Structure 1
């Protein structure tokens, strides 16, 4: 029987990147931030320690098998279920990919470790770098990103500026807005100032869609999101929702119909879907997102966890807490 990869997921549909093969270099929920909006839930290993969290030989072997089986994707993305730059092997993986395939390599990072020269150097051969910057004030940073101890915003901003000067590939900056936390005029003006100094190729604006780590964390309404994009400057754009046609192009280990069938049977948590489909949580979340966008399913909170429920055609959307779930 063919074994499922442990460190690869997808290809999954990406609103920005097309068909993306994900590479996971850290263990689940290992991150330098504990972001209030994280769809994977609370960070269980909040750390800035760089080390080998998974065996790099196993990652490269899975990539080698995927390429040998005529694996096809628009891009290979180092992201996964935690912060990829925590992996001390990230440079090894980037270099190996550049030597073995012509598929572009992207790195999604929260940017928290880019002040370290060795981290910046490890990413130089990637084709695309997408760091995030959700706040440029200390208050907003602490409220939204909830960083590991001794991670200073000033250091992170300096690291982003240095990375932009040194990196020769495409450099996109992602901003996640949370209603009432970092969408105020003060926060947006501070972000614009930081963006002016960093000079990314573009700024991609997003807001909470999937059920986040913290109850009560809310999305920014579309009109306000458009106002925020205008305030952040001419390079800011709102990330468009994923379409079903984009999802249909992906031939990963799970499909939107697989997720739909499970949720039609009973309410499911992300962990239930991941286990039931024997798939990576990031892969499952792409299809959960699509079904939420289409209002085929809804999310409800119970005991601090998000459950996904099927919505029969024409039924009203409820959401919120439901102790009787």
Structure 2
């Protein structure tokens, strides 16, 4: 029986979820958006068609085997190679997880399909849903997210509004802001007005931190992010926080002594990581991570991506299944 993992990765360090076991149920890169800031590059399958892109049984088998290793994550999260709600078996997978484990389930979503009753039904099984809203009007949202036709701005918003009325779990609304594009006061106020209607449990302000699909997608400076957080907090009844990466490899009291190249590649093919990020996600010392990463680069299996004074590592070849 195979021991490889193709659709489950990590646990990886998450800015919001601690150590998160990632579930990726899509072929690369299948999404309803083609976000200019996406760390995975451009969308290759631009669609709103829901189907079983990867067999549900295969995903559940990998989750079961991963949990059996005893490395308990803080969350099991759906993210990966595109928009998780495009997988038609999402609800069955979440129910399967609940049957085998008490680890809470989180779903990262761009929120574009929440107007579909079947998507809302699937997400109802999750403990936390983290939708995004990156623009307060049609022009800005499309400039940043480049959503596929026939989606409309109104349809996306109506789905976010309706989902809040029927979902019993936690909703954390993520707002990804771009420097010089969506970080002005008018743009922030427009997002705040919609967030009032969405009524999330909290709003998480984010900006570009990994190499983006478009080089002109730039981060918002830290002082401006603080101003935006204060502006949103004054307008909203829920907490507003800035999410940023805090990776400290010395937080580990013990480290794994054995690590396989395929474990590292499974991580960096889905999200470019620094050496510290790989170390935190795989519970190894940062010097061990650097050693393996540099060997992967030398072998032509990984590349370095300088970004804002840091070096990220990404796999050279991306999955097709």
Give 1:233's aligned residue: 233
Aligned match of 1:285 = 272
State TM-score, norm by structure 1. Answer: 0.80
1:195–1:318 CA distance, 2 compared to 1 (3 A): closer
SS at match of 1:51: coil
Kindly state the Cα deviation for residue 179 of structure 1 after the two structures are TM-superposed: 1.0
Corresponding residue for residue 190 of structure 2: 190
Matching residue of 2:305: 308
Using the TM superposition, give the Cα deviation of residue 240 of structure 1 relative to its aligned residue in structure 2, in angstroms.
2.9
Distance 1:109 1:251, change over 3 A: farther
Unaligned runs of 5+ in 2: 279-285, 294-302, 312-321
Aligned-residue CA RMSD in angstroms?
A: 3.1
Q: Does 2:222 match 1:222?
A: yes
Question: For 1:142-221, what aligned pairs fall within 5 Å after superposition?
Answer: 142-221=142-221
The change in CA–CA distance for 1:56 and 1:114 in structure 2 (over 3 A counts) is: same
Q: Distance in 2 between matches of 1:17 and 1:73?
A: 9
Deviation readout 1:189-244 (Å, 9 max, x if unpaired):
11010011111000000100111000121100011111111222252210132222
Change over 3 Å in CA distance of 1:250–1:14 after alignment to 2: farther
**1:81/1:248 CA distance change after superposition, 3 Å:** farther
Structure 1 residue 41 displacement after superposition: 0.5
Q: Is the 8 A contact 1:79 1:108 kept in 2?
A: yes
Distance 1:246 1:132 in 2: 32
Where does the alignment leave 5 or more consecutive residues of structure 1 unmatched? 259-273, 298-305, 311-315, 320-325
C-alpha distance in structure 1 between counterparts of 2:149 and 2:139, whole Å:
15
Distance 2:81 2:195 in 1: 26
8 Å contact kept, 1:128–1:171:
yes
Q: When the two structures are superposed, what TM-score results if normalisation uses the length of structure 2?
A: 0.81
Specify the SS of the correspondent of 2:35. Answer: coil
Matches within 5 A, 1:77-116: 77-116=77-116
1:162 is paired with a residue of what secondary structure?
A: helix
Corresponding residue pairs, total: 286
**Residue 307 of structure 1, CA deviation:** 4.0
